[in-house]
Amino acid sequence: MDTLVYTADISALNDPAAFESLLGEVPEYRREKAMRFKFPGGRMQSLGVGLLLKQACRDAGIVGADENVVLGENGKPAFRDVPEVHFNLSHSKTRVMCVISPYEVGCDVEHVRVGRSRLAERFFKESETRWIHSFPEGEAQDEAFCRLWTLKECYMKVTGCGMSLSPDKFSLSMTPDGIILEHDGPRPEYTFREISGGDGFRYAYCVKGMPERHCVCVKNVAPFDETLFAGDGR
C-alpha cells in the first residue's frame, strides 16, 4: 500500500446547498460532529476532512473503514477494523488535509499569518529561532515560522501525544539533506515532508518507519463539490 496525501480547498462548502448535499456522504458520527460546531467555518472543516478520509479509504481499497473510527488516549484517531492502516487529518480556514499510510503518520496544514514570527522564542528552540531569523524580516520570516510549526505539529500528532508534547521539547534542523529530528537524541526513523501550495498555506506530514523507496502519492482534490464522489458506487 502506498502512502496517500490529500489536500483540498473547501471554499465550495460555503454554498449551503453543496454542504447539505455532501453532508450525507460521510458517516453519522462525522455528520454529528460537524453539526456540533456553532459557526459555519467549523462545520465546513469537519465535513471537509471527513470527505477526504472517505476518498482516501476508497482509493486505498478499504472502503468503509472511515465509518468506524476510534480515538487513542490523547485523541489520535485510528480505524477500529483496520488497525494496520494509519491516518491523520488537519484543517485550517478553507483548507483541509488527509494522509493515509501503512505507517504511523501525522499531518498539519496552517495558514501563514502575519506577525507570527515574533512568537518564535516562545515556542521554539534557540537554533530554530535563529533559522527563522535568517530570513528577511516580514513575510519570509512568517512563512518560515509557519513551516516549522506545521512540521512540529506533525511530529506531535504522529507520536500520539498531540499538544501534551510541548514544541520546545524537541528540535528540528532544516538541512540540505533533509529535516533532522532531535528528541532525546537523533530520531532518524521519522521522515518529514513539506508541501507548498502557493496559496498562503503550508502543508506538512511526518511518517514513522517509512522505507526510503516507499511510494508517496500527493493529490490536490479540486473542485471540491458533488462531483468528488461521482462513480463511487452509491
Instruction: Supply the DSSP string of 38-87, one letter for each residue.
Output: SSHHHHHHHHHHHHHHHHHHHHHT-TTGGGSEEE-TTS-EEESS-TTSEE
Report the DSSP pairing between strands 171-175 and 216-221.
Answer: unpaired
Radius of gyration of the chain (CA): 18
* Nearest residue to 102 (alpha-carbon basis) of 80, 89, 85, 83: 85
Report the DSSP pairing between strands 3-9 and 216-221.
Answer: parallel
What does the pLDDT read at residue 226?
Answer: 57
Q: Rounded to an integer, what distance in angstroms lies between the CA atom of residue 198 and that of residue 22?
A: 27
Q: Which fold is adopted by the domain 1-103+210-234? A: Ribosomal Protein L22; Chain A (3.90.470)
Q: Hey, which CATH number is domain 111-199, 2.60.40.10, 3.40.30.10, 3.40.50.620, 3.90.470.20?
A: 3.90.470.20
Q: What percent of the chain has pLDDT over 70?
A: 95
**What does each of the 234 residues of the chain score in pLDDT, given as a tens digit?**
999 999 999 999 999 999 999 999 999 999 999 999 999 999 999 999 999 999 999 999 999 999 999 998 778 899 999 999 999 999 999 999 999 999 999 999 999 999 989 888 888 999 999 999 999 999 999 999 999 999 999 999 999 888 789 899 999 999 998 999 999 999 999 999 999 878 899 999 999 999 999 999 999 987 666 555 554 543
Q: Rounded to an integer, what distance in angstroms lies between the CA atom of residue 206 and that of residue 103?
A: 10
What does the pLDDT read at residue 161?
Answer: 87
Exposed e or buried b per residue across 165-175, where buried means at least 16 C-beta atoms within 10 angstroms of its C-beta: bebeebbbebe
What does the pLDDT read at residue 228?
Answer: 58
* Nearest residue to 76 (alpha-carbon basis) of 183, 153, 147: 153
Q: How many CB atoms lie within 10 A of CB 77?
A: 15
Q: Where in the chain is the domain with CATH 3.90.470.20?
A: 1-103+210-234, 111-199
User: Which tens digit of pLDDT belongs to each residue from 163-218?
Assistant: 789 899 999 999 998 999 999 999 999 999 999 878 899 999 999 999 999 999 99
Angle value at C-alpha 78, between 166 and 95, nearest 5 degrees: 70
Q: What is the number of residues in the chain?
A: 234
